[in-house]
Amino acid sequence: MNVLVCGGAGYIGSNMTALLAAEGHEPIVYDNFSKGHRSAVRGVQVVAGDLADFQGLVKVLRERKIEAVMHFAASIEVGESVQEPLRYYRNNLSNTQNLLSAMEAAGVQKFVFSSTAAVYGMPEKVPITEDAPKHPINPYGETKLAVERMCRYQSQTGRLHYAALRYFNACGAGDNGNRGEDHRPESHLIPLIIQAAMGKRTDIKIYGADYPTPDGTCIRDYIHIDDLCRAHLLALNRLDSQIEQTFNLGNGQGYSVREVIESVKRVSGRDFKVVETARRPGDPAVLTSDATKAKAELGWQPQTPALDDIVATAWTWHMGHPEGYRD
């Protein structure tokens, strides 16, 4: 299958591209390289383009005979979305509407959308199921939920078959450890802690040590990138028969910030300074997934659920790429 991978040079997109190629599909990366890395997608077809370019999208969809689209090209920083809401509505919502319109014009029906647990906001109970109330508390979550709703209405016309996959915390290095996280600036917990272990940061900060959790720090659900990508592939393969799919993707087991720090110390064999500071506004004490639906309907099962194993893949990648990707 010819699959257009929008944002395919980013962390999740590049790992998905590698898996598609390994499984015999023909991925075509579509990226504007504002965040992605060219060296993460060597050996596959790459088109430099922007989701705001309707005619460019239609041309690529038609000329490359695209049969399905996977969309990883959203802006993802929660704090930034609060500071720059219009930019998030433009990129995450308006540009996705543009992409769906181009797909409609080119006659492409299959769509896999990278959504987020942020659609739930502050959950009333955990673990979170797909039918839990959705009350996003920031523009990032709001725009992702708006896209889900747009997809649902478009699917009701018969012109779209889609899967919306709500991630919890994607992490680790995938594709046999060849593709890791390299956000600039970095904002994800595991690579931040690894940078502290490598001596690239003076310390790692814990934002709030007084939460109602066993050790006082926030608990989150971490899912290895390979497991996440396998779920995408399973959802893609069902789009012929399933018009609408929505799944949570997580391990279902939470780890606290302090537990993640201790895991990096064990895996790396290094110590580093840890500083406790004030809570950040809007951080729930616990966010964990109930992925029962994905397991039952997709036949999906996480293969790397243990935190130390996840961290080990990330540590190996960062040690081999101390400056990240070179592009």
Q: Which residues are catalytic?
A: 140
The residue ranges of DSSP E strands in 168-289, in sequence order, are 169-171, 204-207, 219-224, 244-249, 254-256, 274-277, 286-287
Q: Are the C-beta atoms of 241 and 163 separated by less than 8 Å?
A: no
Using DSSP, state whether 220 is helix, strand or coil. strand
CA dihedral 113, 218, 87, 50 (to 10 degrees): -40
Q: For residues 109 and 68, what is the distance between their CA atoms, to the nearest angstrom?
A: 7
Q: Are 218 and 280 in contact (CB under 8 A)?
A: no
Query: Cα 26–28–29 angle (5° rounding)?
Result: 140
DSSP for residue 310: H
Our measurement of the distance from residue 323's CA atom to the centroid of its chain's CA atoms, rounded to an integer in Å, reads 22
Number of other residues whose CB lies within 10 A of the CB of residue 141: 22
Copy the structure tokens of residue 171: 């992490």
Strand partners, 326: none
Residue whose entry in the numeric block shows the structure tokens 């460019």: 56
Alpha-carbon gap, residue 105 to 101, rounded angstroms: 6
What's 83's DSSP letter?
H
Strand 254-256 and strand 219-224: the pairing is: antiparallel
Beta bridge partners, 169, equal 222
What is the DSSP code (8-state) at residue 55? H
DSSP code, position 131: T
Contact yes or no for 291/248 (Cβ under 8 A): yes
